[in-house]
């Protein structure tokens, strides 16, 4: 579906990455300076260095072919938005030549999805960072692209809005059948939006695979430091009230006690629940009475070892997605963990984070 | 005002307008080209194209004299131009264009230098060819600076004397522009006529500068609303 080989030997933007990708949304993550932006700009034709680029069977760059940026039909969303200061938001959405303008239906849908209605007559100078990013994403989607290259397209948005966008944005991208390369540092975003993940480091492809296990394996390389940035499992759920009147999130029948819900979201509303892998405790026997508000029985489904430790994949219920717990090698040995063994899982309610969906 | 004075004013406006047009279509693309590249060869080119700014106008006039004569070094007849451009109003246009060229070039380059070239690349990524991306993105963003550069070029062309009188002469009703008319009036002791011409030159210059200020103010106000 999308196949490329990029080779830029010259520093400071040295890059050597090749990949064969299936249809769908491919996430790209990696530390600052890994070459994520350079890769997207190179594929879009804004920098030289593409050796091979094959899109849906069509050669854009190869032996004898080297299409110019305007011929590659890429919907490129730069990290800084790169909006044109002399055009209103409305003019941005109809910027391209007639063959690159979307129909009214899609434009209206994109405007509604990205909540741009009230911004249509504004110039970029009057937009916040998050608004500028939404306009840049809308401009790319409305340019009838054959593929989408998004660089931290939602990075400057408030967490609450970002959480609301993922599901609908994914369904729109899937419906448009666009091959997508989606750069992000956000662990939840990469899990919920992407079908596949590439991890870059120092201009090279470090690893790739399904988002959740790949993130767990390369979290130390791929995700930014700081709160909410480490590796965590993200579960879709529904905000609920427990018997004691506290706030909980219902995930496939499992009630997860949380410290509080997102502002403006009532009981019964869909939410995303994130549980940091570092905050999950594992006990071999019944831990008895503890301060942790969430104590569940679980089965160890798999153990993935990497250089920094082990990720234990835990199944807490038939309809509950897998939970990841980061453990040290010593803890795995002492608990005598093996795939299939039963354990108790302890998670503090304050460690769980809830985002509106 | 005498008929000769009116003729000089009209010819000045015609010469300055055409010279500005000529510099607009040559200096602006060259300025963009130079602004997007770097290196010693680019600096050398920039310096060479700026030479009329630092050379005495009579020296530029002498070079043009050699080029425009039918038996001149460059043999301009090759380009389908009249056999001998010397002492024609067209020669005055060329002289004024050459003298105002560096001003427009430098003003335009300074404007392009301040623009983010990635915006033009973004325009291409969205489907426009390089030329159309310049028209759709770069030129609208550079409009204010380019306008100021062109108005400066116009005033320079309208006040050009040294190179113009060398190649076009000072023939009333044919090649006599305002500056050469002032020179002639002063040489012949017609002080009243000289003062009238100076006042007209002052009004043209003032109008151009005020017009420029007004355009800049209007564009700034529009941009402030963004």
Residue linked to tokens 């963004």: B226
What pLDDT is recorded for position A128?
92
Closest CA to A296 of A305, A307, A309, A286: A286
- Residue A125, chain B, CB below 8 Å: the answer is yes
Cβ contact, residue pair A86, B226, below 8 Å:
yes
CA of B153, closest CA in chain A: separation in Å? 26
User: Is A121:A127 a contact under the CB 8 Å cutoff?
Assistant: no
Closest CA to A304 of A314, A295, A294: A314
Q: What pLDDT digit, counting tens, does each position of B26-58 carry?
A: 999 999 999 999 999 999 999 999 999 999 999
A280 band by pLDDT with thresholds 50, 70 and 90: very high
Alpha helix locations (H) across A142-282? 159-176, 187-193, 211-222
What pLDDT is recorded for position A222?
62
pTM for this prediction: 0.84
Give the percent of chain B with pLDDT over 70: 92
Is residue B199 scored above 60 in pLDDT?
yes
Q: What pLDDT digit, counting tens, does each position of A300-333 carry?
A: 999 988 877 888 999 998 888 889 998 998 999 9
What pLDDT is recorded for position B78?
46
What pLDDT is recorded for position B82?
54
Peptide bond into A169 cis (omega under 30): no
Give CA–CA dist A286/A296, Å, rounded.
Answer: 10
B-facing residues of A in 265-294 (CB < 8 A) are none
Element of type H or E holding B194? helix B191-224
User: Is B48:B34 a contact under the CB 8 Å cutoff?
Assistant: no
- Residue A96, chain B, CB below 8 Å: the answer is yes
Is residue A242 scored above 90 in pLDDT?
no
ipTM exceeds 0.85: no
As a whole number, mean pLDDT of residues B172-188 equals 92
What pLDDT is recorded for position B70?
66
User: Is A223:A217 a contact under the CB 8 Å cutoff?
Assistant: no
Six token digits for residue A67: 């299409």
- A73, A86, A147, best to mutate vs chain B, most B CBs in 10 Å: A86
- Residue A67, chain B, CB below 8 Å: the answer is no
B-chain residue closest to A78, CA distance: B122
Which of chain A's residues have a Cβ under 8 Å away from the Cβ of B122? Answer: 76, 78, 82, 84
As a whole number, mean pLDDT of residues A174-199 equals 91
What pLDDT is recorded for position B83?
54
β-partners of residue A149 are A76, A181
What pLDDT is recorded for position B156?
93
As a whole number, mean pLDDT of residues A102-110 equals 91
Six token digits for residue B2: 């005498």
Is residue B112 scored above 90 in pLDDT?
yes
Residue B125 is nearest to which of A76, A84, A123, comparing CB atoms? A76
The overall average pLDDT reported for chain A is 89
B-chain residue closest to A45, CA distance: B125
As a whole number, mean pLDDT of residues A138-153 equals 94
B-facing residues of A in 39-58 (CB < 8 A) are 44-46
Percent helix, strand and coil across chain A, each rounded to 5? 30, 35, 40
Lowest mean pLDDT among A115-119, A148-152, A214-218, B88-92: A214-218
The overall average pLDDT reported for chain B is 89
Cβ contact, residue pair B122, A70, below 8 Å:
no
As a whole number, mean pLDDT of residues A216-227 equals 64
User: Is A231:A276 a contact under the CB 8 Å cutoff?
Assistant: yes
β-bridge pairing A270-276 and A280-283: unpaired
Residue B119 is nearest to which of A74, A84, A139, comparing CB atoms? A84
User: Is B45:B33 a contact under the CB 8 Å cutoff?
Assistant: no
Residue B99 CB partners (closer than 8 Å, separation 6+): B52, B57, B60, B156, B157, B160, B163
Cβ contact, residue pair A46, B126, below 8 Å:
no
What pLDDT is recorded for position A110?
94
Closest CA to A282 of A256, A260, A303, A307: A303
β-partners of residue A199 are A29, A207
Cβ contact, residue pair B121, A123, below 8 Å:
no
Is residue A227 scored above 50 in pLDDT?
no
User: Is B112:B29 a contact under the CB 8 Å cutoff?
Assistant: no
Q: What pLDDT digit, counting tens, does each position of A251-261 carry?
A: 988 999 998 88
As a whole number, mean pLDDT of residues A187-216 equals 90
As a whole number, mean pLDDT of residues A139-167 equals 89
β-partners of residue A65 are A62
For A119, phi and psi rounded to 5 degrees?
-100, -5
- Residue A99, chain B, CB below 8 Å: the answer is yes
CA atoms within 13 A on the CB side of B155: 18
Q: What pLDDT digit, counting tens, does each position of B75-96 carry?
A: 555 455 555 778 899 999 999 9
As a whole number, mean pLDDT of residues B204-209 equals 88
Which of chain B's residues have a Cβ under 8 Å away from the Cβ of A78? Answer: 118, 122
For A105, phi and psi rounded to 5 degrees?
-60, -50
CA of B56, closest CA in chain A: separation in Å? 41
Cβ contact, residue pair A84, B126, below 8 Å:
no
Q: Does residue A115 or residue A12 have the better pLDDT?
A: A115
What pLDDT is recorded for position B73?
56
Give CA–CA dist A249/A241, Å, rounded.
Answer: 8
Give CA–CA dist A139/A144, Å, rounded.
Answer: 9
CA of A117, closest CA in chain B: separation in Å? 17
Is residue B139 scored above 50 in pLDDT?
yes
As a whole number, mean pLDDT of residues B124-132 equals 94
DSSP output for A72-130: TTEEEE-TT----TTS-HHHHHT-S-GGGPPPHHHHHHHHHHTT-GGGTT--GGGS-HH
């Amino acid at each position: 579906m999308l196949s490329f080989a990029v080779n830029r030997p010259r520093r400071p933007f040295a890059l050597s990455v090749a990949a064969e990708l299936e249809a769908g949304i491919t996430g790209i993550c990696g530390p600052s300076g890994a070459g994520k932006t350079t890769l997207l700009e190179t594929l879009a034709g804004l920098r030289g260095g593409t050796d091979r680029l094959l899109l849906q069977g069509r050669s854009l760059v190869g032996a004898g072919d080297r299409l110019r940026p305007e011929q590659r039909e890429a919907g490129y969303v730069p990290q800084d938005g790169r909006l044109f200061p002399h055009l209103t938001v409305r003019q941005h959405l109809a910027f391209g030549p007639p063959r690159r303008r979307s129909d009214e239906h899609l434009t209206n849908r994109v405007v509604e999805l990205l909540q741009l209605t009230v911004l249509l007559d504004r110039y970029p100078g009057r937009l916040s960072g998050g608004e500028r990013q939404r306009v840049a994403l809308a401009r790319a989607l409305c340019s009838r692209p054959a593929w989408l290259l998004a660089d931290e397209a939602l990075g400057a948005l408030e967490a609450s809005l970002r959480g609301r966008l993922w599901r609908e944005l994914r369904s729109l991208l899937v419906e448009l059948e666009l091959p997508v390369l989606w750069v992000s540092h956000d662990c939840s975003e990469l899990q919920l939006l992407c079908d596949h993940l590439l991890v870059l480091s120092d201009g090279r492809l470090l690893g790739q695979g399904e988002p959740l296990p790949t993130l767990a394996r390369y979290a130390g390389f791929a995700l930014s430091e700081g709160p909410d940035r480490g590796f965590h499992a993200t579960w879709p759920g529904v905000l609920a009230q427990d018997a004691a009147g506290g706030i909980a999130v219902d995930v496939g029948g499992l009630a997860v006690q949380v410290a509080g819900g997102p502002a403006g979201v009532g009981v019964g509303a869909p939410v995303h629940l994130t549980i940091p892998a570092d905050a999950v405790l594992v006990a071999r026997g019944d831990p008895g009475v503890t301060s942790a508000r969430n104590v569940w029985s679980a089965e160890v489904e798999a153990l993935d070892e990497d250089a920094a430790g082990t990720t234990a994949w835990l199944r807490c219920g038939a309809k509950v997605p897998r939970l990841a717990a980061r453990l040290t090698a010593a803890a795995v040995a002492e608990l005598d963990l093996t795939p299939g063994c039963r354990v108790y899982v302890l998670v503090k309610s304050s460690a769980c984070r809830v985002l509106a969906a | 005002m005498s008929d000769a004075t009116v003729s000089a004013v009209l010819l000045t406006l015609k010469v300055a307008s055409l010279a500005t047009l000529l510099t607009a279509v040559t200096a602006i693309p060259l300025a963009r080209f130079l602004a997007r590249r770097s290196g010693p060869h680019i600096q050398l080119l920039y310096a060479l194209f700026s030479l009329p700014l630092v050379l005495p106008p009579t020296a530029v006039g002498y070079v043009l004299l050699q080029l425009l004569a039918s038996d001149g070094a460059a043999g301009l007849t090759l380009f389908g131009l009249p056999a001998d451009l010397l002492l024609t109003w067209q020669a005055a246009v060329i002289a004024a264009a050459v003298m105002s060229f560096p001003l427009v070039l430098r003003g335009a380059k300074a404007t392009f230098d301040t623009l983010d070239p990635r915006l033009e690349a973004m325009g291409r990524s969205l489907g426009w060819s390089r030329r159309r991306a310049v028209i759709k993105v770069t030129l609208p963003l550079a409009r204010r600076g380019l306008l100021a550069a062109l108005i400066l070029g116009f005033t320079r062309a309208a006040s050009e004397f040294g190179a113009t009188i060398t190649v076009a002469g000072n023939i009333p009703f044919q090649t006599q522009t305002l500056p050469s008319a002032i020179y002639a009036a002063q040489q012949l002791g017609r002080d009243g006529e000289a003062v009238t011409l100076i006042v007209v030159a002052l009004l043209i210059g003032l109008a151009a500068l005020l017009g420029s200020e007004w355009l800049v103010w209007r564009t700034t106000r529009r941009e402030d609303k963004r």
